[in-house]
Structure 1
Amino acid sequence: MPESGNLGVVVVSVDGSEESMNALRWALQNLKLRSPTPDSTIAGFFIIFHVQSPPSISTGLNPGSIPFGGPSDLEVPAFAAAIEAHQKRITGSILNHALGICSQFNQTKVRTHVVVGEPKEKICETVLDLHADVLVMGSRAFGPIKRMFLGSVSNYCAHHAHCPVIIIKGKDSVNKGN
């Protein structure tokens, strides 16, 4: 019987990148969930968490501001719906990939959670709302210039999340057990 741990809620943030999937693999290999006890039937579980970007292209379209030949009022909602449907397909694909990794590790204590918004803020809000014991996420290891313009989601979460944050760097972290 595997050794049990004391973690109740482990949130793993995934964005479809290989780095985030490696963070999921690391969490599944290294973190031990709480087992039910005679006093409590509540067992620990992993939450595969994804922040879906808001449909920014459709939000920026305003048919009133486009003169002559711009989209009509009917076209903009259809365009927005198409973008939203596409984002839902991408989110579904990301979650299916993550759940496939969980099944490779024979991990069945898994839930999924999706929100729409800015990843930095939504990740920190969600770990608080879900009463996470720990947040696990990957890092893309941007250089200093790229990080200055794009920011670092993992760095932001490390400083603002209301729980411990484990950041998995690099592709070899999972294989080395680091």
Structure 2
Amino acid sequence: MATGDLGCVVLAVDGSEESMNALRWALQNLRLRSSPDAPGSLVVLHVQSPPTIAAGLNPGSIPFGGPSHMEVPAFTAAIEAHQRRISQAIMAHALQICAEKNVEVKSLVVVGDPKETICETAANLKADLLVMGCRALGPIKRMFLGSVSNYCINHVSCPVVVIKGTTE
């Protein structure tokens, strides 16, 4: 699937082996526009979950008469720091794969809901193509967890290449 007219390709990674395989596939198979005045670019995108999702795991109210609606700031800060470390590790792995192939890429970490944020980022970057992996969840897991790749296929404004994984 080599092409020479891709201006912007967004490569969504989430740390799964399937997303890294999709990244490897894109690096090996896609050719970007090579015009000196408007060269193509590969953008490795990772969407970090918002801290509010994890902060929902807040240990609860302060015991012995404390307010029941109060967040524990240290808990929220620890969750945010942990999420940043995870994102940094995912991006380091993805950028190492790119370096091994001697491919220069741009990296972008965005906080948000992965389904919506991938689509919004692809639209904002005016992507010509979105490449992502798919874990091939079974029908029951897909019903409860949803499928990020399926959502993107139906909501993004550019073509999508999904590299499927094996069934769990």
Structure-to-structure mapping, 1:34-53, within 5 angstroms: 34-37=33-36, 41-53=37-49
Which AA in structure 2 matches 1:32? Answer: R
Two-structure CA RMSD over aligned residues (Å): 2.5
2:117 is matched with 122
Structure-2 change in CA distance of 1:159 and 1:74 (3 Å): closer
Shift of the alpha carbon at 1:81?
Answer: 1.0
> What SS is found at the alignment partner of 1:138?
strand
> What SS is found at the alignment partner of 2:131?
strand
Shift of the alpha carbon at 1:139?
Answer: 0.4
> What SS is found at the alignment partner of 1:68?
coil
Aligned sequence identity (%): 64
1:90 is matched with 86
User: 8 Å contact 1:4–1:35 — kept in the other structure?
Assistant: no
Shift of the alpha carbon at 1:142?
Answer: 0.3
2:54 is matched with 57
- Comparing 79-88 with 52-61, greater Cα deviation is found at 52-61
2:19 is matched with 20
Q: Which runs of 4+ in 1 moved over 6 A?
A: 69-75
Which consecutive unaligned segments of at least 5 residues does structure 2 have?
none
Shift of the alpha carbon at 1:58?
Answer: 2.1
Structure-to-structure mapping, 1:1-178, within 5 angstroms: 5-37=4-36, 41-55=37-51, 56-59=53-56, 61=58, 65-68=61-64, 76-108=72-104, 110-170=105-165
Shift of the alpha carbon at 1:73?
Answer: 10
User: 8 Å contact 1:137–1:167 — kept in the other structure?
Assistant: yes
In structure 2, C-alpha distance between the alignment counterparts of 1:104 and 1:131, rounded to whole Å: 27
Structure-2 change in CA distance of 1:48 and 1:69 (3 Å): farther
Structure-2 change in CA distance of 1:71 and 1:21 (3 Å): farther
Structure-2 change in CA distance of 1:34 and 1:151 (3 Å): same
> What SS is found at the alignment partner of 1:29?
helix
Structure-2 change in CA distance of 1:66 and 1:98 (3 Å): same
Deviations 1:53-74 (A, max 9, x none): 11223256496x5552769999
In structure 2, C-alpha distance between the alignment counterparts of 1:34 and 1:126, rounded to whole Å: 20
| TM-score between the two structures when normalised by the length of structure 2 | 0.88
Q: How many residues align?
A: 164
